[in-house]
Structure 1
């Protein structure tokens, strides 16, 4: 390793002092954010909220200070089908109900997973990963399917939001302290060959954390009263014996949908299915399966589904090149390379392999603008409330979508026979920390 010499520092400063461009940028940055310095006004010509395919949807939802985007997006897909079936103009399903059972199942998943690490070294990488992750708000489409399969859904008024369900940070912190404490105590008991005591400890922790969830979220309802008013102002009320019976009555099979990813990395050949080790919530629930396809094929599948007036659940990296006030993500709207006279560009594969890109938010695609069959912008229903963007709807440019979208959930009827066979093949198991599992953080 070579240290920086004083001569090197002197040369660097002399070179910088001669750079008139950087001098101007430095003065501007004293009072101006970086994004504004790099903003390209001309890009606005291509990001107007007008779309050739634009599906009418119900008002946007708000996940508030929580990471439940995947649940909100999944329930937004289901509620559109409920609204269509019953002729509703405004309706929400309870995100709190879904989050309660997700947390409870994740707690059990963690406790059971620790049985595989009772005697390994304390610095085992997988153990450290699981301990670091604990349980989080995030999740995957297939995890949503597992929850609905087991617990059904309920209208929002049957289990409304609480402060804790909308602001999950403190609750998650305490749950994870409890889980890490269990891991330490369970490993200590295992070393002493006290497996019966370890199992008793596990049952006690599960009971304690179930009560903790009830205290934070409220008690989940056991039956459903579905009370509503139709678009033509007709009042209706129906009672179901269970949330599962209510969902079954809706008549949608979530297993008809497949998760398609675009991961152009060397370790993931296209037309292969993948899963991620130790990623899940409901034990023995639906396995997490991703079919990797080229981006052009993923986009074609999304467009096919939108053309049939059905919205699309998807996952992307929304941490860059965006304006949340305007509700626009567009990588052509920011020119950092000209502003700072150096390259920042990386391929999508490089971003995945070198921790610069990964899914961190799930939403719903409700529209697209096609020019000569090619998508140049996409309309997005977000779950950040109606105050930002266009009443809560956002726009993604075509180039931004290509670079930062990693997953879309598509009805299997749009897949070719070869694609369907690949999806149903034995999946390749990826490491627990693979970026295709990052949405569950």
Structure 2
């Protein structure tokens, strides 16, 4: 067999294509119409129904706009329902910009510490290259959200509202990447001189803080909190710190939550805890650790939480088999196999191994349709505004959940006793570039 593409081979490919009338029909269609409109399976669409048997949401969705803050939005959306009830208001939002500021600053410090730790390695070392590839993206994971709330508290959106750059982070991130990569270069040049490295790191962080303050504003150390409830009653709590505000208005026990994932690769045994090297944002915070379990258990845990009255934070590969116009996910929504006359048969484990999938987005389950004790479909609070789907609430077929959901945050007490015990095991450490270290954005 020739290694090069020969003229004879090219002629054969063209003849094989031309010999099939169905291929020409597809060519005519797809050259004039987006392929998703051709591949959309009407049998799936005609069965579309947004109703669910267990529904929690009676609030408006939020909008992360042109930013990758979904994991922060999903986390704060989980917390805001309890805060709204305690405040007796219809809609309430914690400041997403406030946590964005501290995530960027903490993550810059986290990156510079990693640069110090690896400064004696070659710049093309795989770990160093991974760290330099994206030192300050917007994405994150559940444990990173908890680390920020634990250290920096929370404030209402009125105390630190959105800015142009919090809603559109590209320009700010570009500047921060330049600052941090230059900082990494300098720290590497100073390898062997610990004092000089620490001095230079402090200088870099000074610039990072300046950039963040210019783009996002200055995080409040105290703020006057007062509001009107749904009955027009006026309330004033006086001056509060972010830590005091979080302690008063976070009504769920964040410290009790753990992250469980579905990683079906043979190298990742179920019932074991894992962590990923250099994954995190806050130095000295508990490491990002997750427990690998079977998908059926993840579904059961999520369903039980919703039926019990509590939304569920989750992470998934959002773009697979998704219709933005319909606000719908189904594992068979688009029939690409019929369009291209070929099989797409990588399973979930193979997709992870071959770089075809990873967690890309985090959202909140706010409803589930239960039939004969099993979930049939799920209602999802997205953070993409209210123009799509059911006023911003999307619908997920259970078939999609099994294929494309990777993790949920759940109370430790909800796990079977034997798995609760496994949470205390020393986690298996995966390399920094492992797909299970992907950040939802």
Alpha-carbon contact 1:70-1:362 (below 8 Å) kept? yes
Distance 2:152 2:280 in 1: 16
Which secondary structure state, in structure 2, belongs to the residue aligned with residue 134 of structure 1? coil
Contact 2:36 2:334 in 1 (8 A): yes
Offset, 1:52: 0.7
Shift of 1:440: 5.2
Q: CA deviation at 1:225?
A: 2.6
Instruction: Work out whether residues 47 and 397 of structure 1, in 8 Å CA contact, stay in contact via their aligned partners in 2.
Output: no
TM-score (norm 1): 0.97
Give 2:269's aligned residue. Answer: 269
SS in 2 for 1:291: strand
Checking the alignment, whether the CA contact within 8 Å between 2:225 and 2:240 is kept in structure 1 is no
Aligned to 1:155: 156
Structure 2 unmatched runs, 5+: none
In 2, Cα distance between the equivalents of 1:227 and 1:286? Answer: 34
- How many Å apart are 1:425 and its aligned residue? 1.5
Q: Secondary structure in 1 aligned to 2:313?
A: strand
Matches within 5 A, 1:13-412: 13-190=14-191, 193-250=192-249, 251-412=251-412
Deviation at 1:317, TM superposition (A): 0.5
Q: Secondary structure at the match of 2:269?
A: coil
Q: What is the total number of aligned residue pairs between the two structures?
A: 439
1:423 aligns with 2:423: yes
- Secondary structure at 1:172 match in 2: helix
Aligned mates of 1:186, 1:435 — CA distance in 2: 28
Deviates more, 1:38-47 or 1:151-160: 38-47
Q: Distance in 2 between matches of 1:440 and 1:173?
A: 19
* CA RMSD across the alignment: 1.3
The question of whether the paired residues in 1 share the 8 Å contact of 2:377 and 2:396 is answered with yes
Identify unmatched segments of 5+ residues in structure 1. Answer: none
| Counterpart Cα distance in 1 of 2:296 and 2:46 | 24
Q: Is the 8 A contact 1:109 1:281 kept in 2?
A: yes
Q: After TM superposition, give the deviation of residue 240 of structure 1 in Å.
A: 4.3
The 3 A distance-change label for structure 1 pair 375 and 45 is farther
Q: Does 1:5 find its partner at 2:3? A: no
What TM-score does the superposition give when structure 2 sets the normalisation length?
0.97
Paired with 2:46 and 2:325, the residues of 1 have a C-alpha distance of 17
Pairwise CA distance, 1:189: 2.0
Provide the C-alpha distance between the structure 2 equivalents of 1:359 and 1:40, rounded to a whole number of angstroms: 25
**Alpha-carbon offset, residue 194 of structure 1:** 3.7
1:286-330 per-residue CA deviation (whole Å, 9 max, x = no partner) reads: 321111111101000000100111000000001121111221112
Q: In structure 2, how many angstroms separate the alpha carbons of the residues matched to 1:82 and 1:241?
A: 15
Following superposition, the deviation at residue 375 of structure 1 comes to: 1.7
- Of stretches 276-285 and 327-336 in structure 1, the one that deviates more from structure 2 is 327-336
Change beyond 3 A, Cα 1:224–1:286: farther
**CA offsets, 1:169-227, max 9 Å, x none?**
1111111111111111121122xx44322221111111111111111110111123332
CA offset digits 1:28-83 (Å, max 9, x no partner): 11211111111111212432111011112421000010000000000011111111
For residues 68 and 22 of structure 1, the distance between their equivalents in structure 2, rounded to whole angstroms, comes to 42
Q: Equivalents in 2 of 1:280, 1:57: separation in Å?
A: 33
